[in-house]
Amino acid sequence: MQNNNTLTSPTLTDISADSFVQAYNLFVQQGDFISLTRQFEQGLAQTGRENNLNFNVKGAKVSLLDSGVLLVEPQSSATSDKPSKSIVISSGIHGNETAPIEIVQQIVGDIIAQKITLKHRTLFIMGNPVAMNIAKRFQTENLNRLFCGKHQDIAACFEKDRAEKLERYVSAFFNAGTENGEVTNYHYDLHTAIRNSKYEKFAIYPFQNGKPWDKEQLSFMASCGVNTILFGHGPSGTFSYYSSANFSAHAFTIELGKVRPFGENDMANFSAMTEQLTALVTDRELSLKTFANADFNLFTALGDITKVSENFKLYIDDSASNFTDYPVDTLLSTDTGQEYRTTQPGESIVFPNANVGNGQRAVLMVVPTTLS
Ligand SMILES: [Zn+2]
């Protein structure tokens, strides 16, 4: 018997519990990954391949590593068919960003229904089940600031624990991929934005520390309907940066439009993304247009407007869209003894937020750029 205390305190799910066994069997039959993930939001007590939660579908083995973490591996004996790609497709790192979760559901559902045959090792992730269940961006901490070990610096909470585990699953996934020989790593972390954007879909290309930006990857983004790219300007704690910096993965944080509740997304708006990710995991030919600057809105970071004191004032409307640009010499903020005026043609704002602590970024300023 459980007392009230243990009923209300968060617990990991014992995979031998009747309720789990039933839900898991239903998942194997019907492929509803969202439902399974939401039912066991705290995660599983027995995780990784050792939990033996796996089953076969046409041409692939499916393993549930934890709540919201599903490994699918092609099973082919032909050596010519060796998987040459390890692909992470993640969603729900912010729990209320439902469209990406529904994209992952669609691909996972198609694999389990045997409508498509997976050809490359793929790790599908629904990142924050607790936040999904409360329809919030996060419960205690913004999960997408906690990667690259930054989870070690904060107090105990669901997101701290989840970031540490997601790092472990992704790391084991990429490391196991290299056992097959030459493998290219990919990580597409799908989001939707809180605010409007002048360009509805955009991607953040993690800081490459001097490595060139990959034009074929930009062409792939364009084929997914994402032709606005913001080049990262420094290391960060995002999930995509984690995979890029540690596993040389081609990685992006992809913003697909505005946040909406489950069931209210117009999935047709995301069909290019879903189709191209499906093409990637099933090894269907990706017909990509050769990179041309004219097909893109490329931005590079100019710097931050940082809130220094309580006197900080931001002259950007709360509802201002990302990538709104201002004429040169526009006053954007004032603070104790200083002000910020635009200095460059096309200078634009991203992620404005006046409600930050002293010393934190209130706005990221960006300018248009091109690749040579
Ligand atoms: Zn997000």
97: domain CATH number is 3.40.630.10
Residue 217 CA to ligand 1 center (angstroms) comes to 21
Are 121 and 212 within one domain?
yes
Domain boundary among 270, 293, 316: 293
Are 231 and 361 within one domain?
no
Are 285 and 311 within one domain?
no
Burial of 41 (0-12, 13-18, 19+ CB in 10 A): buried
DSSP state of 123: E
Q: Domain with 324 in it: what CATH number? A: 2.40.50.630
Report pLDDT for 357: 85
Rg (Cα) of the chain, in Å, rounded?
21
Are 96 and 232 within one domain?
yes
Q: Which amino acid type is present at position 47?
A: T
Adjacent-strand bridge partners of 191: 255
Are 253 and 318 within one domain?
no
The tokens describing 117, both together, are: 């045959």
Would you say residue 1 lies in a domain? no
Are 185 and 314 within one domain?
no
Q: How many CB atoms lie within 10 A of CB 172?
A: 15
Residue 39 CA to ligand 1 center (angstroms) comes to 22
Positive or negative: CA dihedral 100, 104, 105, 107: positive
Q: How far apart are CA 156 and CA 144, in angstroms?
A: 16
Adjacent-strand bridge partners of 91: 126
Are 324 and 271 within one domain?
no
Would you say residue 300 lies in a domain? no
Q: How far apart are CA 189 and CA 202, in angstroms?
A: 12
Are 247 and 152 within one domain?
yes
Residue 93 CA to ligand 1 center (angstroms) comes to 6
Residue 94 CA to ligand 1 center (angstroms) comes to 5
Are 199 and 322 within one domain?
no
Residue 128 CA to ligand 1 center (angstroms) comes to 11
Are 181 and 324 within one domain?
no
Q: Which residues of the chain fall short of a pLDDT of 50?
A: 1-8
Reduced DSSP (H G I as helix, E B as strand, rest coil) percent helix, strand, coil of the chain, to 5: 30, 25, 45
Q: Which one of 97, 141, 167, 255 is the catalytic residue?
A: 255
Domain boundary among 264, 293, 322: 293
Would you say residue 2 lies in a domain? no
Q: How far apart are CA 73 and CA 71, in angstroms?
A: 7
The tokens describing 211, both together, are: 């490595």
Residue 304 CA to ligand 1 center (angstroms) comes to 20
Domain boundary among 293, 315, 347: 293
Residue 350 CA to ligand 1 center (angstroms) comes to 14
Would you say residue 15 lies in a domain? no
Would you say residue 119 lies in a domain? yes
Would you say residue 13 lies in a domain? no
Would you say residue 48 lies in a domain? yes
Q: How far apart are CA 327 and CA 342, in angstroms?
A: 7
Are 322 and 206 within one domain?
no
Query: Smallest Cα–Cα separation from 296: which of 352, 195, 245, 371?
Result: 371
How would you label 95-124 residue by residue, b for 16+ Cβ within 10 Å and e otherwise?
bbbbbbbbbbbbbbbbbbeeebbbbbbbbb
Q: How many CB atoms lie within 10 A of CB 77?
A: 5
Are 269 and 365 within one domain?
no
Residue 208 CA to ligand 1 center (angstroms) comes to 21
339 catalytic residue (yes or no): no
Adjacent-strand bridge partners of 72: 62, 122
Residue 253 CA to ligand 1 center (angstroms) comes to 8
Would you say residue 109 lies in a domain? yes
Number of domains in the chain: 2
Residue 291 CA to ligand 1 center (angstroms) comes to 27
Residue 73 CA to ligand 1 center (angstroms) comes to 27
Report pLDDT for 80: 61
Q: Domain limits at 64?
A: 21-293
